[in-house]
Amino acid sequence: MFLYGQRSVTERLKTNPQSIQRIYVLEEVRRPDIVKLARAKHVFVEFISKGKLLYLARDVHAQGVIAEVSDFVYQEFDEVLGREHKRIIIFLDRITDPVNLGAILRICACFGGCAVVLPKFESVEVNDTVVKVSCGAENHVPVSMVTNLSSAIEQAKDAGYWIGAAVVEEGVNPRKVKFNFPLGFVFGSEGEGIRPGLLKHVDYRLTVPMKGAQLSFNVATSVGIFCYEALNQKIYDKIK
Amino acid sequence: MFLYGQRSVTERLKTNPQSIQRIYVLEEVRRPDIVKLARAKHVFVEFISKGKLLYLARDVHAQGVIAEVSDFVYQEFDEVLGREHKRIIIFLDRITDPVNLGAILRICACFGGCAVVLPKFESVEVNDTVVKVSCGAENHVPVSMVTNLSSAIEQAKDAGYWIGAAVVEEGVNPRKVKFNFPLGFVFGSEGEGIRPGLLKHVDYRLTVPMKGAQLSFNVATSVGIFCYEALNQKIYDKIK
């Protein structure tokens, strides 16, 4: 797997250098900042020509820096559930667009205290595009891959979690709900929403109120708003 | 200018068919839904080969449908300010990524009651990529282009607006602010933030609280969170 661009590569060097096999730097650019950091972390740097960079980066805007890294390591869902400090768990039902997953990881990393769960089938994985968009966030957010999302949600409920789900219509404004914790949210694909089988586990059906056009929020926008609301209720509203 | 894909073209046909010169539909696909709507709106449809579609759409995923449309029509900023129902105004300082502007337009269209202001220089315009990402939102959100963003913000303040700005550090959690209305928000570019000259107009310095990694929220994520907070305070918190 490849990481493209200065931010993704720098963040990986800082947080998880063992996962980097090699860094390629465009010889015209040389990037002393990255080269210095790489050497400090004992990561091999190779200077390459523009031709080789274009070959490796294809059409991705790489800012002259690429890292070859091990495949993303998923976390066991049991471990996520078993943590002492319970994370807000984001269950993603059939999200197929890597740009959306990358944006969601970035949001989760910024807020902190979140984890992401993907089903093994009909879903994007943490691939090159995801880590490009996430700007290094993949180093900070536990992501689990489960065979059956419905069972995973049930398992979370058995572990004491409350579950909210984003529905397009007729849900309650998250602002009007007093959330119980630990808390998880389910988000569906933009075309098709959440599968009805998953909705039966849900404690809160939630809809961000819209007074505007009959369009729908992008899934990453919804994740940002829900996490903002939940974390305010969990932490910040209690601080005067 | 071209619109790509089913959602963008359908939304434009519904809201502003006069701006469409012609719709191209891949002959293998034929899209009877779009063709029927186009005929009802008296818009000319041309069936084209895969070769011509690829030529027109380049690498854009077009779902077999492209519309050739007039350039985007910006709204005079004076008109936005002069409206009886005051909109939340989103001032964007040097946003250069069209994907971010498209995402922001989509968020504004969903919430309703927002307007966007761009400076003429060092900023992205409403181009093909923006309208592709915005999924038809450009038909619902007034966008103004001004020569000087600082003067525009001053003008808004003279018209009674209160101004909040997204700052990376040391701002107040928007949740903890009682906003006055009418209200505008200023957002800066991800690399460089808001120019100091603009910050002097600002009533509220705002930061979404982060407990996670030292990354920053994508600008569209911030717009979503700020608008959610402001619209709840303006409208929904008052409804029991």
Q: At what angle do helices B98-111 and B219-234 cross, to 10 degrees?
A: 20
- For chain A, the residues whose C-beta falls within 8 A of a C-beta of chain B are 11, 59, 103, 106-114, 135-137, 139-140, 173, 175-176, 208-213, 215-218, 220-221, 224-225, 228-229, 231-232, 235-237
- The mean predicted confidence, pLDDT, of chain A is 93
Strands of A143-146's sheet in order across? A143-146, A114-119, A88-92, A183-187, A162-166, A204-206
Q: Which CATH number fits domain B77-239: 3.40.1280.10, 3.90.1150.10, 3.40.50.1000, 1.10.10.60?
A: 3.40.1280.10
- Three-state secondary-structure class, residue A240: coil
**Distance, CA of A135 to CA of A106 (rounded, Å):** 7
Among A135, A215, A235, select the one facing B135 at the smallest CB separation: A215
CA A9, distance to chain mean position in Å, is 17
Share of chain B above pLDDT 90, in %: 78
Q: What are phi and psi of A45, to 5 degrees?
A: -115, 135
Q: Which tops the pLDDT comparison, B63 or A43?
A: A43
pLDDT for residue B59: 66
**Distance, CA of A196 to CA of A199 (rounded, Å):** 5
Q: Which CATH number fits domain B2-69: 3.30.390.50, 3.30.1330.30, 3.40.50.1100, 3.40.50.720?
A: 3.30.1330.30
Count other Cβ atoms within 10 Å, centred on residue A57.
Answer: 20
- For chain B, the residues whose C-beta falls within 8 A of a C-beta of chain A are 11, 59, 103, 106-114, 135-137, 139-140, 173, 175-176, 208-213, 215-218, 220-221, 224-225, 228-229, 231-232, 235-237
Kindly tell me the sign of the dihedral angle through the C-alpha atoms of B114, B117, B122, B125: positive
Output Rg (C-alpha) for chain B, integer angstroms.
Answer: 20
CATH 3.40.1280.10 residue window(s) in chain B: 77-239
* E-strand stretches of chain A: 2-4, 20-26, 45-48, 65-69, 88-92, 114-119, 143-146, 162-166, 183-187, 204-206
pLDDT for residue B192: 83
Q: Which residues of A touch B218 (CB under 8 A)?
A: 103, 106-107
Q: How many residues does chain B have?
A: 240
Can you say whether residue A212 is alpha, beta or left, with left for phi > 0 and alpha for psi between -120 and 50 degrees? beta
Cβ of B106 within 8 Å of Cβ of A215? The answer is: yes
Of A113, A103, A237, whose CA–CA distance to B99 is shortest? A103
pLDDT for residue B121: 93
Tens-place pLDDT, residues B2-20: 999 888 999 999 999 999 9
Residue ranges of the alpha helices (H) in A89-177? 98-111, 128-134, 149-158
Q: Which residues of B touch A140 (CB under 8 A)?
A: 212-213, 215
∠ CA B167-B172-B175, rounded to 5°: 115
Cβ of A225 within 8 Å of Cβ of B220? The answer is: no
**Distance, CA of A198 to CA of A154 (rounded, Å):** 9
Q: What are phi and psi of B44, to 5 degrees?
A: -70, 135
Q: What ipTM was reported for this prediction?
A: 0.92
Q: Answer yes or no: is pLDDT of B231 > 70.
A: yes
- Three-state secondary-structure class, residue A178: coil
Q: Which residues of A touch B61 (CB under 8 A)?
A: none
CATH 3.30.1330.30 residue window(s) in chain B: 2-69
**pLDDT (tens digit, 0 to 9) for every residue of chain A, 240 residues total?**
999 988 899 999 999 999 999 999 999 988 899 999 999 999 999 999 999 988 888 767 778 899 999 999 999 999 999 998 999 999 999 999 999 999 999 999 999 999 999 999 999 999 999 998 898 999 999 999 999 999 999 999 999 999 999 998 899 999 999 999 999 999 998 778 899 999 988 999 999 999 888 888 999 999 999 999 999 999 988 886
Of B78, B85, B150, B75, whose CA–CA distance to B116 is shortest? B75
Question: What is the number of helices (H) and of strands (E) in chain B?
Answer: 9, 10
Cβ of B236 within 8 Å of Cβ of A209? The answer is: yes
Nearest residue in chain A measured CA to CA from B135: A215
Cβ of A139 within 8 Å of Cβ of B213? The answer is: yes
- The mean predicted confidence, pLDDT, of chain B is 93
B212 pLDDT band, cuts 50/70/90, is confident
Nearest residue in chain A measured CA to CA from B212: A112
CA B205, distance to chain mean position in Å, is 22
List, in order, residues 6 or more apart from A205 with CB less than 8 Å away.
A164, A165, A167, A170, A171, A172, A199
**Distance, CA of A60 to CA of A221 (rounded, Å):** 24
